[in-house]
Amino acid sequence: MRRIAAGAALITLTLTVAPAPAAAHVPAGVAAVSSSTLSSSALSPLARQLGRQTLPAGDGWASAGPGTTGGSTASADQAHVVTTRAELVVALGGDNATNATNSTPKIVYVKGTIDGFEGPDGTLLDCTDLADPGYSLQAYLAAYDPAVWGRVAPSGPVEEARVRSVTNQTRHTQINVGANTTVIGLRGARLTGLTLMIDRVSNVIVRNITFDDARDCFPAWSPTDGEAGNWNSQYDQVSVRRSENVWIEHNTFTDGDNPDIAQPVHFGRPYQVHDGALDITHTASLVTAAWNRFDGRDKLMLIGSSNTVGPDVGRLNVTLHHNLFDGSLQRLPRVRFGQVDLYNNAYRLAGDDFEYAIGVGVQSAVYAENNHFTLGTGITAADLLYDWGGTAITTRGNWVTPAGGLPRPVDLVAAYNAVHDPDLSPDAGWTPTLRHGPVLPAPLVPLVVGPLAGADRLPL
Sign of CA dihedral 353, 355, 357, 362: negative
Q: Rounded to whole angstroms, what are the CA distances from 10 to 185, 238, 399?
A: 27, 33, 21
Assess contact for 118 and 124: CB atoms under 8 A: yes
Q: How far apart are CA 446 and CA 12, in angstroms?
A: 11
Dist CA 299 CA 329 (whole Å): 7
Instruction: Report CA dihedral (89, 93, 98, 101) to the nearest 10 degrees.
Output: -130
Q: Based on the residue annotation, tell me whether 331 is a catalytic residue of this protein.
A: yes
d(CA 445, CA 393): 21
Q: How many CB atoms lie within 10 A of CB 378?
A: 11
**Cβ neighbours around 135 below 10 Å, total:** 25
Peptide bond into 21 cis (omega under 30): no
**Strand 265-266 with 269-270, pairing:** antiparallel
In terms of phi and psi (left: phi > 0; alpha: psi -120 to 50; beta: otherwise), the region of 375 is beta
Cis, peptide link before residue 333, omega less than 30° from 0: yes
DSSP one-letter code for 447 = H
Active-site residue, selected from the candidate residues 85, 293, 297, 331: 331
Show which residues are catalytic. Answer: 331
